[in-house]
Amino acid sequence: MGEVKLFRTWSSPFALRVVWALKLKGVEYETIYEDLANKSSSLLEYNPVHKKVPVLLHNGIPICESLVILEYIDETWNEGVRFLPKDPLARATARFWAKFNDEQVFPSFFRYFMRQGEDQEKAKEKVLENLKFVEEHLKGKKFFDGEVFGFLDLVFGWLVCYPGVINKAINLKLLDEQMFPNLCTWMEQFGDVPVIKETWPDEEALIHKFHKMREGLGIYIYTKLRYEAS
Amino acid sequence: CVCVCYILDSNIYIKLFTFLSILLTFKYIIKMKDEIILLDCWASSYGMSVKIALAEKGVEYECREENFQDKSPLLLQSNHIHKTIPVLVHNGKPICESLIIVRYIDEVWHDKSPLLPSDPHQKSQALFWADYIDKKVAKKELIEVLRNLERELGDKPYFGGENVGFVDVALVPFTSWFYTYETRGHFSIEAECPKLMSWAKRCISERKSIAKTLPHPHKIYEYALDLLRK
Protein backbone atom coordinates (compact mmCIF):
# COMPACT_ATOMS: atom_id res chain seq x y z
CA MET A 1 0.00 0.00 0.00
CA GLY A 2 2.97 2.29 -0.50
CA GLU A 3 5.72 3.80 1.58
CA VAL A 4 4.73 5.07 5.03
CA LYS A 5 6.80 7.30 7.29
CA LEU A 6 5.89 8.80 10.65
CA PHE A 7 7.54 11.96 11.95
CA ARG A 8 7.21 12.02 15.72
CA THR A 9 8.85 12.65 19.05
CA TRP A 10 9.51 9.74 21.42
CA SER A 11 7.24 11.12 24.15
CA SER A 12 4.29 12.80 22.41
CA PRO A 13 0.93 11.20 23.31
CA PHE A 14 -0.49 12.56 20.02
CA ALA A 15 2.13 10.66 18.04
CA LEU A 16 1.50 7.54 20.15
CA ARG A 17 -2.11 7.31 19.01
CA VAL A 18 -0.88 7.25 15.39
CA VAL A 19 1.65 4.50 16.27
CA TRP A 20 -1.18 2.44 17.78
CA ALA A 21 -3.37 2.97 14.72
CA LEU A 22 -0.61 1.87 12.32
CA LYS A 23 0.29 -1.21 14.40
CA LEU A 24 -3.35 -2.25 14.86
CA LYS A 25 -3.82 -2.08 11.08
CA GLY A 26 -0.59 -4.04 10.54
CA VAL A 27 0.94 -1.21 8.48
CA GLU A 28 4.72 -1.24 8.06
CA TYR A 29 6.27 2.15 8.47
CA GLU A 30 9.50 3.98 9.13
CA THR A 31 9.84 6.25 12.18
CA ILE A 32 11.70 9.54 12.01
CA TYR A 33 12.29 11.07 15.44
CA GLU A 34 12.25 14.84 15.58
CA ASP A 35 14.03 17.14 17.98
CA LEU A 36 11.57 20.00 18.44
CA ALA A 37 14.35 22.39 19.39
CA ASN A 38 15.98 21.66 16.04
CA LYS A 39 13.29 20.71 13.52
CA SER A 40 14.33 18.94 10.34
CA SER A 41 13.89 20.62 6.96
CA SER A 42 11.60 17.70 6.03
CA LEU A 43 9.22 18.44 8.91
CA LEU A 44 9.13 22.13 8.00
CA GLU A 45 8.40 21.18 4.38
CA TYR A 46 5.66 18.66 5.25
CA ASN A 47 3.95 20.76 7.94
CA PRO A 48 4.75 24.37 7.02
CA VAL A 49 1.62 25.74 8.72
CA HIS A 50 2.00 24.31 12.25
CA LYS A 51 5.55 22.89 12.09
CA LYS A 52 4.45 20.17 14.53
CA VAL A 53 4.49 16.39 14.90
CA PRO A 54 3.03 13.92 14.26
CA VAL A 55 3.09 14.00 10.46
CA LEU A 56 2.31 10.91 8.43
CA LEU A 57 3.91 10.63 5.02
CA HIS A 58 2.17 8.21 2.67
CA ASN A 59 3.74 7.79 -0.78
CA GLY A 60 5.47 11.12 -0.29
CA ILE A 61 2.26 12.98 0.57
CA PRO A 62 1.98 14.46 4.10
CA ILE A 63 -1.03 14.27 6.41
CA CYS A 64 -0.99 16.48 9.53
CA GLU A 65 -3.00 16.72 12.76
CA SER A 66 -3.32 13.47 14.70
CA LEU A 67 -7.13 13.16 14.53
CA VAL A 68 -7.05 13.74 10.76
CA ILE A 69 -4.26 11.14 10.49
CA LEU A 70 -6.29 8.59 12.50
CA GLU A 71 -9.26 8.94 10.16
CA TYR A 72 -6.97 8.78 7.12
CA ILE A 73 -5.39 5.52 8.37
CA ASP A 74 -8.83 4.08 9.14
CA GLU A 75 -10.10 4.82 5.62
CA THR A 76 -6.99 3.96 3.66
CA TRP A 77 -6.30 0.60 5.34
CA ASN A 78 -9.95 -0.30 5.48
CA GLU A 79 -9.88 -4.10 5.54
CA GLY A 80 -10.07 -5.79 8.92
CA VAL A 81 -10.33 -3.71 12.10
CA ARG A 82 -12.14 -0.35 11.72
CA PHE A 83 -11.74 2.40 14.32
CA LEU A 84 -14.70 4.65 13.61
CA PRO A 85 -18.25 3.25 13.71
CA LYS A 86 -20.30 3.16 10.49
CA ASP A 87 -23.38 4.99 11.76
CA PRO A 88 -23.17 8.79 11.12
CA LEU A 89 -24.58 9.66 14.56
CA ALA A 90 -22.10 7.38 16.34
CA ARG A 91 -19.28 8.91 14.24
CA ALA A 92 -20.37 12.44 15.13
CA THR A 93 -20.45 11.48 18.83
CA ALA A 94 -16.95 9.98 18.62
CA ARG A 95 -15.61 13.11 16.91
CA PHE A 96 -17.24 15.32 19.55
CA TRP A 97 -15.52 13.46 22.39
CA ALA A 98 -12.20 13.39 20.50
CA LYS A 99 -12.38 17.18 20.15
CA PHE A 100 -13.30 17.44 23.85
CA ASN A 101 -10.19 15.46 24.76
CA ASP A 102 -7.84 17.44 22.53
CA GLU A 103 -9.22 20.90 23.34
CA GLN A 104 -10.30 20.51 26.96
CA VAL A 105 -9.22 17.37 28.83
CA PHE A 106 -5.58 17.16 27.74
CA PRO A 107 -4.80 20.91 27.88
CA SER A 108 -6.44 21.20 31.32
CA PHE A 109 -4.34 18.26 32.53
CA PHE A 110 -1.18 19.83 31.14
CA ARG A 111 -1.95 23.13 32.88
CA TYR A 112 -2.52 21.27 36.16
CA PHE A 113 0.84 19.55 35.78
CA MET A 114 2.75 22.76 34.96
CA ARG A 115 1.33 25.05 37.67
CA GLN A 116 2.05 25.50 41.36
CA GLY A 117 0.25 26.49 44.55
CA GLU A 118 -3.15 28.14 44.23
CA ASP A 119 -2.97 28.15 40.43
CA GLN A 120 -2.51 24.41 40.49
CA GLU A 121 -5.53 23.97 42.77
CA LYS A 122 -7.70 25.94 40.35
CA ALA A 123 -6.32 23.97 37.40
CA LYS A 124 -7.07 20.74 39.30
CA GLU A 125 -10.75 21.70 39.64
CA LYS A 126 -10.98 22.21 35.89
CA VAL A 127 -9.37 18.92 34.95
CA LEU A 128 -11.52 17.01 37.45
CA GLU A 129 -14.64 18.64 35.99
CA ASN A 130 -13.59 17.55 32.50
CA LEU A 131 -12.74 14.02 33.65
CA LYS A 132 -16.16 13.69 35.32
CA PHE A 133 -17.82 14.19 31.92
CA VAL A 134 -15.59 11.47 30.48
CA GLU A 135 -16.38 9.18 33.43
CA GLU A 136 -20.09 9.66 32.79
CA HIS A 137 -19.66 8.94 29.08
CA LEU A 138 -17.95 5.61 29.89
CA LYS A 139 -20.83 4.40 32.09
CA GLY A 140 -21.94 0.87 31.28
CA LYS A 141 -19.32 0.43 28.56
CA LYS A 142 -16.23 -1.73 28.42
CA PHE A 143 -14.50 0.61 25.96
CA PHE A 144 -15.52 4.06 24.72
CA ASP A 145 -17.07 2.56 21.62
CA GLY A 146 -18.73 -0.39 23.34
CA GLU A 147 -17.55 -4.00 23.54
CA VAL A 148 -14.65 -3.48 21.17
CA PHE A 149 -12.08 -0.69 21.39
CA GLY A 150 -11.87 1.91 18.63
CA PHE A 151 -11.21 5.53 17.71
CA LEU A 152 -12.02 7.12 21.07
CA ASP A 153 -9.95 4.63 23.02
CA LEU A 154 -6.95 5.59 20.86
CA VAL A 155 -7.72 9.28 21.53
CA PHE A 156 -8.06 8.91 25.31
CA GLY A 157 -5.33 6.27 25.52
CA TRP A 158 -2.77 8.73 26.95
CA LEU A 159 -4.72 8.56 30.24
CA VAL A 160 -3.53 4.98 30.73
CA CYS A 161 0.11 6.03 31.04
CA TYR A 162 0.85 9.73 31.52
CA PRO A 163 -1.05 10.60 34.74
CA GLY A 164 0.47 7.53 36.44
CA VAL A 165 4.00 8.46 35.40
CA ILE A 166 3.49 12.07 36.48
CA ASN A 167 2.33 10.78 39.86
CA LYS A 168 5.59 8.82 40.18
CA ALA A 169 7.63 11.82 39.05
CA ILE A 170 6.16 14.59 41.20
CA ASN A 171 3.62 12.90 43.47
CA LEU A 172 0.59 14.41 41.76
CA LYS A 173 -2.30 11.93 41.90
CA LEU A 174 -5.39 12.57 39.83
CA LEU A 175 -7.30 9.44 38.92
CA ASP A 176 -8.77 8.17 42.16
CA GLU A 177 -10.54 4.77 41.92
CA GLN A 178 -13.40 5.99 44.08
CA MET A 179 -14.03 9.13 42.07
CA PHE A 180 -13.43 7.54 38.66
CA PRO A 181 -14.33 3.85 38.82
CA ASN A 182 -15.33 3.61 35.12
CA LEU A 183 -12.16 5.35 33.93
CA CYS A 184 -9.91 3.23 36.15
CA THR A 185 -11.52 -0.01 34.92
CA TRP A 186 -11.20 1.15 31.32
CA MET A 187 -7.53 2.07 31.90
CA GLU A 188 -6.79 -1.47 33.03
CA GLN A 189 -8.62 -3.07 30.12
CA PHE A 190 -7.27 -0.81 27.39
CA GLY A 191 -3.83 -0.88 28.98
CA ASP A 192 -3.88 -4.67 28.62
CA VAL A 193 -4.24 -4.58 24.82
CA PRO A 194 -0.85 -5.91 23.59
CA VAL A 195 -0.15 -3.11 21.05
CA ILE A 196 -0.81 -0.50 23.75
CA LYS A 197 1.22 -2.28 26.42
CA GLU A 198 4.24 -2.72 24.16
CA THR A 199 4.56 0.83 22.88
CA TRP A 200 4.71 3.08 25.95
CA PRO A 201 7.74 5.33 26.06
CA ASP A 202 10.40 4.37 28.60
CA GLU A 203 9.07 5.26 32.07
CA GLU A 204 12.40 6.42 33.51
CA ALA A 205 12.99 8.67 30.52
CA LEU A 206 9.48 10.13 30.89
CA ILE A 207 9.99 10.79 34.61
CA HIS A 208 13.25 12.53 33.81
CA LYS A 209 11.54 14.63 31.13
CA PHE A 210 8.68 15.62 33.47
CA HIS A 211 11.16 16.70 36.13
CA LYS A 212 12.92 18.86 33.56
CA MET A 213 9.69 20.44 32.43
CA ARG A 214 8.49 21.21 35.96
CA GLU A 215 11.64 22.36 37.58
CA GLY A 216 13.12 24.36 34.74
CA LEU A 217 16.27 23.59 32.87
CA GLY A 218 18.52 25.74 35.12
CA ILE A 219 17.73 23.89 38.31
CA TYR A 220 18.14 20.52 36.58
CA ILE A 221 21.61 21.36 35.26
CA TYR A 222 22.71 22.57 38.72
CA THR A 223 21.51 19.33 40.32
CA LYS A 224 23.15 17.20 37.61
CA LEU A 225 26.49 19.04 37.91
CA ARG A 226 26.46 18.72 41.68
CA TYR A 227 25.74 15.00 41.42
CA GLU A 228 28.51 14.46 38.85
CA ALA A 229 31.00 16.49 40.90
CA SER A 230 30.37 14.38 44.01
CA CYS B 1 -61.65 10.10 -7.12
CA VAL B 2 -63.22 6.99 -5.62
CA CYS B 3 -66.52 7.83 -7.36
CA VAL B 4 -64.85 8.28 -10.73
CA CYS B 5 -63.06 4.94 -10.37
CA TYR B 6 -66.29 3.31 -9.28
CA ILE B 7 -68.22 4.71 -12.26
CA LEU B 8 -65.56 3.47 -14.62
CA ASP B 9 -66.01 0.14 -12.82
CA SER B 10 -62.73 -1.38 -13.77
CA ASN B 11 -60.43 -3.18 -11.35
CA ILE B 12 -57.31 -1.66 -12.79
CA TYR B 13 -58.30 1.91 -11.86
CA ILE B 14 -59.09 0.93 -8.28
CA LYS B 15 -55.79 -0.87 -8.07
CA LEU B 16 -53.98 2.17 -9.47
CA PHE B 17 -55.77 4.53 -7.05
CA THR B 18 -54.95 2.29 -4.09
CA PHE B 19 -51.35 2.03 -5.20
CA LEU B 20 -51.00 5.82 -5.56
CA SER B 21 -52.60 6.38 -2.14
CA ILE B 22 -50.17 3.97 -0.51
CA LEU B 23 -47.25 5.65 -2.29
CA LEU B 24 -48.32 9.14 -1.15
CA THR B 25 -48.88 7.92 2.43
CA PHE B 26 -45.44 6.34 2.44
CA LYS B 27 -43.83 9.55 1.15
CA TYR B 28 -45.72 11.51 3.81
CA ILE B 29 -44.59 9.11 6.57
CA ILE B 30 -40.98 9.27 5.40
CA LYS B 31 -41.13 13.07 5.31
CA MET B 32 -42.84 13.15 8.70
CA LYS B 33 -40.14 10.89 10.15
CA ASP B 34 -37.33 13.40 9.67
CA GLU B 35 -37.52 16.10 12.31
CA ILE B 36 -34.61 18.49 12.06
CA ILE B 37 -34.14 21.39 14.47
CA LEU B 38 -31.18 23.77 14.43
CA LEU B 39 -30.45 25.69 17.64
CA ASP B 40 -28.56 28.77 16.53
CA CYS B 41 -27.76 32.45 16.85
CA TRP B 42 -28.13 34.49 13.65
CA ALA B 43 -24.71 36.19 13.94
CA SER B 44 -22.73 33.03 14.67
CA SER B 45 -20.32 32.04 11.91
CA TYR B 46 -20.38 28.51 13.29
CA GLY B 47 -24.16 28.37 12.90
CA MET B 48 -23.91 29.76 9.38
CA SER B 49 -21.66 26.86 8.29
CA VAL B 50 -24.38 24.42 9.36
CA LYS B 51 -27.10 26.41 7.57
CA ILE B 52 -25.09 26.51 4.36
CA ALA B 53 -24.53 22.74 4.52
CA LEU B 54 -28.26 22.11 5.06
CA ALA B 55 -29.12 24.44 2.16
CA GLU B 56 -26.58 22.77 -0.13
CA LYS B 57 -28.25 19.44 0.59
CA GLY B 58 -31.78 20.85 0.20
CA VAL B 59 -32.74 19.73 3.71
CA GLU B 60 -35.74 21.35 5.39
CA TYR B 61 -35.36 22.20 9.04
CA GLU B 62 -36.71 24.38 11.80
CA CYS B 63 -34.34 27.08 13.04
CA ARG B 64 -34.69 28.19 16.68
CA GLU B 65 -32.92 31.36 17.73
CA GLU B 66 -31.20 31.03 21.12
CA ASN B 67 -30.72 33.82 23.60
CA PHE B 68 -27.44 33.51 25.54
CA GLN B 69 -28.92 35.12 28.62
CA ASP B 70 -31.79 32.64 28.66
CA LYS B 71 -30.82 29.34 27.04
CA SER B 72 -33.64 26.96 26.14
CA PRO B 73 -34.09 23.66 28.02
CA LEU B 74 -33.50 21.85 24.71
CA LEU B 75 -30.08 23.51 24.30
CA LEU B 76 -29.04 22.81 27.89
CA GLN B 77 -30.12 19.19 27.53
CA SER B 78 -28.63 18.66 24.06
CA ASN B 79 -25.26 20.22 24.78
CA HIS B 80 -24.91 19.85 28.55
CA ILE B 81 -21.10 20.09 28.41
CA HIS B 82 -20.56 23.33 26.45
CA LYS B 83 -24.11 24.77 26.39
CA THR B 84 -23.28 26.48 23.06
CA ILE B 85 -24.80 26.74 19.61
CA PRO B 86 -25.01 25.47 16.96
CA VAL B 87 -26.70 22.19 17.89
CA LEU B 88 -28.53 20.06 15.33
CA VAL B 89 -31.29 17.88 16.75
CA HIS B 90 -32.13 15.14 14.24
CA ASN B 91 -35.13 13.04 15.24
CA GLY B 92 -34.48 13.88 18.87
CA LYS B 93 -30.72 13.10 18.76
CA PRO B 94 -28.34 16.03 19.26
CA ILE B 95 -25.16 16.64 17.29
CA CYS B 96 -22.84 19.39 18.55
CA GLU B 97 -19.84 21.38 17.26
CA SER B 98 -20.21 23.19 13.94
CA LEU B 99 -17.84 21.22 11.68
CA ILE B 100 -18.82 17.90 13.27
CA ILE B 101 -22.44 18.78 12.40
CA VAL B 102 -21.43 19.67 8.82
CA ARG B 103 -19.67 16.30 8.46
CA TYR B 104 -22.74 14.55 9.87
CA ILE B 105 -24.97 16.34 7.35
CA ASP B 106 -22.56 15.38 4.55
CA GLU B 107 -22.66 11.70 5.61
CA VAL B 108 -26.43 11.41 6.15
CA TRP B 109 -27.45 13.28 2.97
CA HIS B 110 -24.57 11.80 1.02
CA ASP B 111 -26.38 11.55 -2.31
CA LYS B 112 -26.44 15.31 -2.98
CA SER B 113 -23.73 17.99 -3.24
CA PRO B 114 -20.90 16.16 -1.49
CA LEU B 115 -18.85 18.56 0.65
CA LEU B 116 -15.90 16.28 1.38
CA PRO B 117 -13.99 14.48 -1.39
CA SER B 118 -14.14 10.68 -1.31
CA ASP B 119 -10.39 10.25 -1.89
CA PRO B 120 -8.83 9.81 1.61
CA HIS B 121 -5.85 12.04 0.90
CA GLN B 122 -7.91 14.94 -0.51
CA LYS B 123 -10.35 14.49 2.36
CA SER B 124 -7.51 14.74 4.89
CA GLN B 125 -6.36 18.00 3.25
CA ALA B 126 -9.86 19.51 3.50
CA LEU B 127 -10.17 18.36 7.14
CA PHE B 128 -6.77 19.88 7.95
CA TRP B 129 -7.70 23.30 6.52
CA ALA B 130 -11.14 23.35 8.12
CA ASP B 131 -9.53 22.49 11.48
CA TYR B 132 -7.06 25.35 10.90
CA ILE B 133 -9.94 27.76 10.25
CA ASP B 134 -11.81 26.51 13.32
CA LYS B 135 -8.82 27.11 15.58
CA LYS B 136 -7.25 30.23 14.09
CA VAL B 137 -9.69 32.52 12.29
CA ALA B 138 -11.41 33.81 15.40
CA LYS B 139 -8.10 34.89 16.86
CA LYS B 140 -5.77 37.86 16.71
CA GLU B 141 -3.40 36.68 13.99
CA LEU B 142 -6.15 37.06 11.41
CA ILE B 143 -4.13 38.52 8.57
CA GLU B 144 -1.45 35.83 8.83
CA VAL B 145 -4.16 33.17 8.81
CA LEU B 146 -5.91 34.76 5.82
CA ARG B 147 -2.59 34.91 3.94
CA ASN B 148 -2.15 31.16 4.49
CA LEU B 149 -5.68 30.55 3.25
CA GLU B 150 -5.11 32.83 0.22
CA ARG B 151 -2.10 30.65 -0.67
CA GLU B 152 -4.13 27.46 -0.23
CA LEU B 153 -6.94 28.80 -2.45
CA GLY B 154 -4.54 29.73 -5.25
CA ASP B 155 -6.31 30.10 -8.57
CA LYS B 156 -9.15 27.68 -7.78
CA PRO B 157 -12.67 29.13 -7.91
CA TYR B 158 -13.45 27.42 -4.57
CA PHE B 159 -11.38 25.64 -1.91
CA GLY B 160 -13.26 22.52 -3.00
CA GLY B 161 -12.14 22.99 -6.61
CA GLU B 162 -14.86 23.58 -9.18
CA ASN B 163 -17.57 23.30 -6.54
CA VAL B 164 -18.14 24.47 -2.99
CA GLY B 165 -16.64 22.03 -0.48
CA PHE B 166 -16.06 21.49 3.22
CA VAL B 167 -13.43 24.20 3.59
CA ASP B 168 -15.60 26.78 1.78
CA VAL B 169 -18.49 25.95 4.12
CA ALA B 170 -16.16 26.28 7.14
CA LEU B 171 -14.67 29.65 6.11
CA VAL B 172 -17.31 31.63 4.21
CA PRO B 173 -19.40 32.54 7.32
CA PHE B 174 -16.43 34.45 8.73
CA THR B 175 -16.49 36.74 5.67
CA SER B 176 -19.60 38.45 7.04
CA TRP B 177 -17.36 39.48 9.95
CA PHE B 178 -14.63 40.89 7.66
CA TYR B 179 -16.13 44.39 7.58
CA THR B 180 -16.15 44.40 11.42
CA TYR B 181 -12.53 43.19 11.65
CA GLU B 182 -11.37 45.72 9.04
CA THR B 183 -13.17 48.66 10.63
CA ARG B 184 -12.02 47.84 14.18
CA GLY B 185 -8.56 46.77 13.12
CA HIS B 186 -7.93 49.51 10.54
CA PHE B 187 -6.67 47.24 7.78
CA SER B 188 -7.92 46.13 4.37
CA ILE B 189 -8.40 42.42 3.72
CA GLU B 190 -8.92 43.22 0.02
CA ALA B 191 -5.44 44.73 -0.20
CA GLU B 192 -3.77 41.84 1.66
CA CYS B 193 -5.77 38.94 0.18
CA PRO B 194 -7.40 39.88 -3.12
CA LYS B 195 -8.03 36.26 -4.23
CA LEU B 196 -9.80 35.50 -0.98
CA MET B 197 -12.04 38.56 -1.41
CA SER B 198 -12.88 37.48 -4.99
CA TRP B 199 -13.70 34.06 -3.64
CA ALA B 200 -15.98 35.56 -0.95
CA LYS B 201 -17.87 37.60 -3.57
CA ARG B 202 -18.08 34.57 -5.87
CA CYS B 203 -19.57 32.44 -3.07
CA ILE B 204 -22.36 34.95 -2.52
CA SER B 205 -23.08 35.61 -6.19
CA GLU B 206 -22.94 31.99 -7.35
CA ARG B 207 -24.29 29.95 -4.42
CA LYS B 208 -27.87 30.48 -3.25
CA SER B 209 -27.16 28.43 -0.10
CA ILE B 210 -24.54 31.02 0.92
CA ALA B 211 -26.32 34.17 -0.30
CA LYS B 212 -29.45 33.40 1.70
CA THR B 213 -27.54 32.37 4.86
CA LEU B 214 -24.95 35.10 5.30
CA PRO B 215 -26.22 38.24 7.05
CA HIS B 216 -25.16 41.61 5.65
CA PRO B 217 -21.74 42.64 7.04
CA HIS B 218 -23.18 45.90 8.37
CA LYS B 219 -25.72 44.00 10.46
CA ILE B 220 -22.87 41.99 11.98
CA TYR B 221 -20.98 45.23 12.68
CA GLU B 222 -23.96 46.66 14.57
CA TYR B 223 -24.28 43.41 16.50
CA ALA B 224 -20.57 43.52 17.42
CA LEU B 225 -20.86 47.14 18.59
CA ASP B 226 -23.88 46.14 20.64
CA LEU B 227 -21.89 43.32 22.28
CA LEU B 228 -19.06 45.72 23.11
CA ARG B 229 -21.45 48.17 24.74
CA LYS B 230 -22.86 45.50 27.10
Question: pLDDT tens, B177-191?
Answer: 998 888 887 778 888
Q: Which residues of chain A are within 8 Å of residue B108 when distances are taken between CB atoms?
A: 88
Task: Let me know if residue B212 belongs to a domain.
Answer: yes
Residues B39, B63: Cα–Cα separation, whole Å = 6
Among B108, B166, B130, which residue's Cα sits nearest to residue A89?
B108
Q: Which residues of A fall within a CB distance of 8 Å from B86?
A: none
CATH at B114: 1.20.1050.10
Helix ranges restricted to H, chain B? 2-8, 11-33, 45-56, 73-78, 98-108, 120-136, 142-153, 166-171, 178-185, 189-192, 194-206, 208-211, 217-229
Our measurement of the distance from residue A53's CA atom to the centroid of its chain's CA atoms, rounded to an integer in Å, reads: 12
B128, A65: Cβ pair inside 8 Å?
yes
Q: Is residue B101 part of a domain?
A: yes
Which range has the worst mean pLDDT, A147-156, A211-220, B68-77, B108-117? A211-220
Range of the domain at B106: 36-229
Looking at the domain assignment, is residue B13 inside a domain? no
Domain total of chain B: 1
Q: Is residue B12 part of a domain?
A: no
Q: How far apart are CA A189 and CA B87, in angstroms?
A: 33
The pLDDT value recorded for residue B4 is: 57
**pLDDT tier for residue A129 given thresholds of 50, 70 and 90:** very high
Q: How many CA atoms lie within 13 A of A82 on its CB side?
A: 8
Angle CA(B79)–CA(B80)–CA(B82) in degrees, nearest 5? Answer: 70
In a domain? residue B114: yes
Confidence (pLDDT) at B188? 86
Residue B25 belongs to some domain of the structure = no
**Nearest-by-Cβ selection for A72 from B124, B131, B132:** B124
> What ipTM was assigned to the predicted interfaces of this complex?
0.90
Q: What is the pTM of this model?
A: 0.84
Question: How far away is chain B from the Cα of A169, in angstroms, using its nearest Cα?
Answer: 32
Please state, in angstroms and rounded to a whole number, the distance separating the CA atoms of residues A32 and A19. 12
Lowest mean pLDDT of A179-188, A217-226, B18-27, B204-213, name the range.
Answer: A217-226
Q: Which residues contact B71 (CB under 8 A, 6 or more apart)?
A: B83
pLDDT tens for residues A63-121? 999 999 999 999 999 998 899 999 999 999 999 999 999 999 999 999 898 888 888 88
Residue B62 lies in a domain: yes
Residue B24 covered by a domain: no
